[in-house]
C-alpha cells in the first residue's frame, strides 16, 4: 500500500492504473469505512482512500472544538485500510489541500445543502462539496463510495456530479450498525458507555417507524420526535420524513404511499449523531 501526502505523489502513484474507486474519509476509521473499501475493491482495479479532516465543513472553518477534538489516529487508520485492501492512501495536511489559505472559490450547494443538516450546520455541505470536488479532480475515479448513514451528503454529492458534469459514478453503501443497533460513526468514540446506551433511542425510534410502514400502519412522526426529545440525556435536533432524492419534506396524512427517508439528528452529551432509515 502506497501512502501519498502530497498531490504530486498521489498523481504519480495513479499513473497507468485502470479503473479506480475512491473512498473519501476524514479518518477515525471503523467497520463502516471497511465496508466502503470492500465495495470499492469488488468493482475496481485500484482502490484509493483519502484521510483528511476538512476544516471547511466545520463551524468557523475549523476554529471550533468539534474540529480540534475530531479523532485523529493515522497509524490505526492506515492499518485498517491496508488490511481492507486499499492500494493508495492520500493523507495530506491542510496546507497541501489549501495552499496559501482557505480557497476563494467554493462549490455552493444551494437549497439541498441548507436544509436539515445544513440548517443546523451552516456552510457544512459547501465545505463537503468543495473538498470532494478537489478529490475528484485529483484522483479522477471511475466510482466513489459514500456511506448511506450520511444520506444528505450522498444526495448533495449526487447533485454535485450531475450539475457540474463530473464523470464519476456515486455508489452509496448501506449503513453498518453495531451489535446494539447504533450506526457506526467516528464520533461514537467520544461517547461514554452511558451516553452510548442513551443514544440507542435514535435507531430504536427509526426502526419503529419502519416497522409501522411495513405493517401498513399510520406513521406518527410527531410522536417519534416527542420520544427522542423526552429521552434521558438526549437533545433532539431534527427528525423529518423526506423525499430520498431531493430531501424535500413529505406531507403525509396517515399512511405513506411513496418511497421516503426518515432522517434524524440528536445530541448526546457534546456529540451530535445522525441516522436515517428507508421507508
Q: How far apart are CA 260 and CA 122, in angstroms?
A: 24
CB 88 within 8 A of CB 2: yes
User: SS3 breakdown of the chain: % helix, strand, coil, rounded to 5?
Assistant: 40, 20, 40
> Is the Cα dihedral 143, 147, 148, 152 positive or negative?
negative
**Nine-digit cell at 86?**
486499499
Quick check: is 30 catalytic? Answer: no
Q: How far apart are CA 133 and CA 127, in angstroms?
A: 10
From 16, 17, 33, 124, the catalytic residue: 33
CB 244 within 8 A of CB 278: yes
CA–chain centroid gap for 224, Å, is 23
CB 12 within 8 A of CB 52: no
CB 224 within 8 A of CB 198: no
Q: Which of 205, 235, 250 is CA-nearest to residue 223?
A: 205
Q: How far apart are CA 207 and CA 252, in angstroms?
A: 18
* Placement of cell 437549497 in the chain: 111
Integer-rounded Cα Rg, in Å, for the chain is 19
Strand 88-90, strand 143-147: pairing: unpaired
- Catalytically active residues are 33
Amino acid at each position: 500500500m502506497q501512502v501519498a501526502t502530497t498531490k504530486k505523489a498521489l498523481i504519480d502513484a495513479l499513473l497507468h492504473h485502470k479503473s479506480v474507486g475512491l473512498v473519501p474519509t476524514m479518518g477515525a476509521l471503523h467497520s463502516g469505512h471497511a465496508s466502503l473499501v470492500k465495495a470499492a475493491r469488488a468493482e475496481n482495479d485500484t482502490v484509493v482512500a483519502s484521510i483528511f479532516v476538512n476544516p471547511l465543513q466545520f463551524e468557523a472553518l475549523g476554529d471550533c472544538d468539534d474540529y480540534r477534538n475530531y479523532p485523529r489516529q493515522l497509524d490505526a487508520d492506515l492499518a485498517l485500510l491496508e488490511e481492507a485492501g486499499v492500494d493508495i492512501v492520500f493523507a495530506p495536511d491542510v496546507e497541501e489541500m489549501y495552499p496559501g489559505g482557505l480557497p476563494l472559490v467554493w462549490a455552493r450547494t444551494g437549497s439541498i445543502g441548507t436544509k436539515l443538516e445544513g440548517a443546523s450546520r451552516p456552510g457544512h455541505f459547501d465545505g463537503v462539496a468543495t473538498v470532494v470536488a478537489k478529490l475528484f479532480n485529483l484522483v479522477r475515479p471511475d466510482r466513489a463510495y459514500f456511506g448511506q448513514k450520511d444520506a444528505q451528503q450522498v444526495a448533495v454529492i449526487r447533485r454535485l456530479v450531475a450539475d457540474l458534469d463530473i464523470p464519476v459514478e456515486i455508489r452509496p453503501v448501506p449503513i453498518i450498525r453495531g451489535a446494539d443497533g447504533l450506526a457506526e460513526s467516528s464520533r461514537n468514540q467520544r461517547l461514554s458507555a452511558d451516553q452510548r446506551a442513551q443514544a440507542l433511542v435514535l435507531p430504536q425510534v427509526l426502526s419503529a417507524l419502519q416497522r409501522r410502514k411495513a405493517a401498513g400502519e399510520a406513521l406518527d412522526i410527531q410522536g417519534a420526535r416527542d420520544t427522542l426529545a423526552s429521552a434521558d440525556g438526549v437533545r433532539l435536533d431534527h427528525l423529518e420524513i423526506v423525499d430520498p432524492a431531493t430531501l424535500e419534506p413529505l406531507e403525509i396524512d396517515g399512511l405513506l404511499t411513496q418511497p421516503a427517508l426518515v432522517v434524524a439528528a440528536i445530541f448526546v452529551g457534546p456529540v451530535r449523531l445522525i441516522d436515517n432509515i428507508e421507508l
